[in-house]
Amino acid sequence: MATHLSPCSSSSLKQQETKLLLSSRFIAVPRRCCFSTWVQFQPRIHSRNHFQLKSSNGYPLNAVSLQDGLETSFPFSETENAESTVSITVVGASGDLATKKIFPALFALFYEGFLSEDFIVFGYARSKLTDEELRDMISKTLTCRIDRRENCEDKMDQFLKRCFYHSGQYNSEEHFAELDIKLKEKEAGRKSNRLFYLSIPPNIFVDVVKCASLGASSANGWTRVIVEKPFGRDSESSGELTKSLKQYLKEDQIFRIDHYLGKELVENLSVLRFSNLVFEPLWSRNYIRNVQFIFSEDFGTEGRGGYFDHYGIIRDIMQNHLLQILALFAMETPVSLDAEDIRNEKVKVLRSMKPLLLEDVVVGQYKGHSKGGKSYLAYTDDPTVPKDSLTPTFAAAALFINNARWDGVPFLMKAGKALHTRRAEIRVQFRHVPGNLYKRNFGTDLDKATNELVLRVQPDEAIYLKVNNKVPGLGMRLDRSDLNLLYRSKYPREIPDAYERLLLDAIEGERRLFIRSDELDAAWSLFTPLLKELEEKKIVPELYPYGSRGPVGAHYLAAKYNVRWGDLSGEDS
């Protein structure tokens, strides 16, 4: 990774700490440090400068050591940090994602002290709004942490004062040049670091990148662009998108976001695996019988039918969120926690996957249903969805990794809208105990006795391991229990939203949780042939009632590989 680190002895650390107390120019960074787990767990004497920014991998990061996309690089010192500004322009500011997720995440970062004193937020969209109107709109969706409400109103006011709006077309370089003038005014001659968040429909990504990069790039700091999914709809369109983006940006300026990578439990997956001796030795075909990645929502595509019908659940959830988790789950140990080392390992896994066959996939679509006196509309009842749409709102798939570690292990995925519950989890089912002495105590169904590790990503984050134990008392009755790390009991503090982590990482230049273009290519290579076949053969999805557990085809698919879906086992359903 192209970072320039300034080594620092403990005595110079002390000098800098003194400097810190004396000079108000250093305010921004120490506040960040106060909340850093790195500060809590890293030794104080560190070979790197301890005022450097902290990234989500727990290491301090020299965030702007390289002017991303510019030819020259320069070391980033605290002095420069104090004299530089960060602006975040949310393009598509009037939209759903921006108001629901991005502005609230920025506020949370500000509230927690993770944004420097000098940050600026700009909303950009076509809607004609004044600064005040933007503030009014945003203020409705800002929330305070449940457990930390002190000064929240004041903080909101302070945050809103740093938010501005510029109305413009997405394909007008001139309008972005006007934004540039406004940004420069706020930056007041300091070095400017600029982050653009593309919270807009994908058909205008390239227009915006072109106009923003030509009209509003930073002249003296970094310019980065967060791109929301979907990154194309198949290998070809994704390749074209990448090519077009790279006309205006370098790869290191592009931050392709997959917000599932910012979720707490997904972050914890690698920690669990690589920092516990009890798990890593088991992490292979020798002990793991199958792995399941499950996503379900208890609501349909209401309000997003127009978008969804063009993509479907495989592109919306499987090709990105679930596949990214699979790659993290199955990758070999990376050389280090550096972004490139981790992404190299993820790409290797993705490229080792067996082509996905139509016979290993089940698709479904929800139909209308009445329950408890309430009627739920079918997917095709949405006026923005064609009546004869074959777009799947549910899919299940069995995937395989052709490598020594995972040969023959089914990796099952299941994703659906309008199901009976909202849930995202990773389930690892271990093999049966060979020659189990207690076999007869379990009856004929040995599956009931296998260990299962569950990472519940949401809701109610938890990691639990199903183990067998003896029921206390005379005799020998066995039972299954959960060794349960329930986050709300162990860590009563509110868990930050995924967008907070990802925005902070983008600001700090940490790319670990963003998708590199070769990862994206590999992900599309896996799904594109299947998607084409589904569409060319006009495969009719199996209908399932709104609010049900999905099509029965998913059970047959699992059964084909001797698997039972863990979420429907009765214990956890």
Ligand X SMILES: O=C1O[C@H](COP(=O)(O)O)[C@@H](O)[C@H](O)[C@H]1O
Ligand Y SMILES: NC(=O)C1=CN([C@@H]2O[C@H](COP(=O)(O)OP(=O)(O)OC[C@H]3O[C@@H](n4cnc5c(N)ncnc54)[C@H](OP(=O)(O)O)[C@@H]3O)[C@@H](O)[C@H]2O)C=CC1
Widest distance between CA atoms in the chain? 82
Q: Which of 63, 64, 137, 200 binds ligand Y (CB under 6 A)?
A: 200
Name the closest residue to ligand X (Cβ).
Answer: 316
Is the backbone of residue 75 left (phi > 0), alpha (psi -120 to 50) or beta? beta
Nearer to ligand Y, 164 or 411 (CB): 164
338 binds ligand X (CB under 6 A): no
Overall size of the chain counted in residues: 573
Tell the residue number behind the tokens 């500004």, with chain if given. 85
Q: Does 324 interact with ligand Y (rule: CB under 6 A)?
A: no
C-beta closer to ligand X: residue 84 or 199: 199
Compare residues 180 and 497 and give the one whose CB is closer to ligand X.
497
Q: Which does 240 bind (CB under 5 to 8 A by kind): ligand X, ligand Y, none?
A: none
200 binds, among ligand Y, ligand X, none (CB under 5 to 8 A by kind): ligand Y
Active-site position among 166, 321, 432, 555: 321
| Residue from the set 14, 44, 126, 493 that interacts with ligand Y by CB under 6 A | 126
For residues 359 to 398, the per-residue mask of contacts with ligand X, x marking binding by CB under 6 A and - elsewhere, is ----------------------------------------
* Tokens 């390289």, located at residue: 66
SS3 label, residue 467: strand
Q: What CA–CA distance (Å, rounded) separates 489 from 15? A: 41
At 240 the three-state DSSP class reads helix
126 binds, among ligand Y, ligand X, none (CB under 5 to 8 A by kind): ligand Y
Least distance from ligand X to the Cβ atom of residue 233, Å? 13
Q: Would you call 321 a catalytic residue per the annotation?
A: yes
Nearer to ligand Y, 75 or 201 (CB): 201
Binding to ligand X by CB under 6 A, coded x per residue (else -) over 414-433, reads ----------x---------
Structure tokens at 132: 């005040």
**Which residue among 88, 121, 125, 265 contacts ligand Y (CB under 6 A)?**
125
Q: How far is the CB of 262 from ligand X (least distance, A)?
A: 9
How many residues contact ligand X, by CB under 6 A? 4
The Cα 18–Cα 3 span in angstroms is 26
Interface with ligand Y by CB under 6 A: which range of 197-205, 417-425, 456-464, 504-512? 197-205
Question: How far is residue 300 from each of residues 317, 352, 365, measured CA to CA in Å?
Answer: 14, 34, 10
Are the beta carbons of 427 and 294 closer than 8 angstroms?
A: yes
Binding mask 284-313 for ligand X (x = CB under 6 A): -------------x----------------
From the list ligand X, ligand Y, none, pick the one residue 363 interacts with, judged by a Cβ distance below 5 to 8 Å according to partner type: none
Helix, strand, or coil here: 317? Answer: helix
C-beta atoms surrounding 287 within 10 Å: 14
Stretch that binds ligand Y, among 93-101, 348-356, 460-468, 479-487 (CB under 6 A): 93-101
Identify whether the C-beta of residue 49 lies closer than 8 Å to the C-beta of residue 43: no
- Token pair 């698997």: residue: 563
Nearest to 496 by CA among 118, 147, 24: 147
CA distance 150 to 170: 39
CA distances from 107 to 141, 267, 298 (A): 10, 22, 28
Residues 6+ apart with CB under 8 A from 398: 360, 361, 410, 411, 412, 557, 558, 560, 561
Question: Does residue number 130 form part of the binding site for ligand Y (CB under 6 A)?
Answer: no
Residue 97 touches ligand Y, criterion: CB under 6 A: yes
| Residue 96 binds ligand Y (CB under 6 A) | yes
Q: What track of x and - describes contact with ligand X for positions 257 through 276 (by CB under 6 A)?
A: --x-----------------
SS3 content of the chain, % helix, strand, coil (to 5): 40, 20, 40
C-beta closer to ligand X: residue 53 or 265 = 265
Q: Which does 127 bind (CB under 5 to 8 A by kind): ligand Y, ligand X, none?
A: ligand Y
| Span interacting with ligand Y, options 47-55, 122-130, 260-268, 421-429, rule CB under 6 A | 122-130
User: Which residue's structure tokens are 């807009």?
Assistant: 200
> Residue 221, interface with ligand Y (CB under 6 A)?
no
CB nearer to ligand Y: give 228 or 461. Answer: 228
Distance from chain centroid for Cα 1? 22
Dihedral Cα 321, 322, 324, 329, nearest 10 deg: 140
- Please identify, using beta-carbon distances, which residue of 161 and 422 lies nearer to ligand X: 422
CA distance 271 to 201: 35
Q: Tell me which amino acid residue 108 is.
A: A
**DSSP one-letter string for 543-565:** EEETTBS--THHHHHHHHTT---
- Is 316 near ligand X (CB under 6 A)? yes
Q: If we measure between CA atoms, which residue out of 78, 11, 80, 5 comes closest to residue 48?
A: 5
Partner whose footprint covers residue 316, from ligand Y, ligand X, none (CB < 5 to 8 Å by kind): ligand X
Closest contact distance (angstroms) between CB of 311 and ligand X is 8
- The dihedral region occupied by 539, where left means phi > 0, alpha psi between -120 and 50, and beta the remainder, is beta
Task: Extract the tokens encoding 216.
Answer: 């509003």
Helices (H) and strands (E) in the chain, counts: 20, 20
Q: Closer to ligand Y by CB, 207 or 341: give it.
A: 207
The reply on whether position 141 binds ligand Y by CB under 6 A is: no
Q: Does 201 bind ligand Y (CB under 6 A)?
A: yes
Distance in Å, CB of 309 to ligand Y, minimum:
13
Q: Which listed residue (112, 173, 180, 228) binds ligand Y by CB under 6 A?
A: 228
The token pair at 353 is: 């996957």
Contact set with ligand X (CB under 6 A): 259, 297, 316, 424
Contact set with ligand Y (CB under 6 A): 92, 94-98, 125-127, 170, 199-202, 204, 228-230
Active site residues: 321
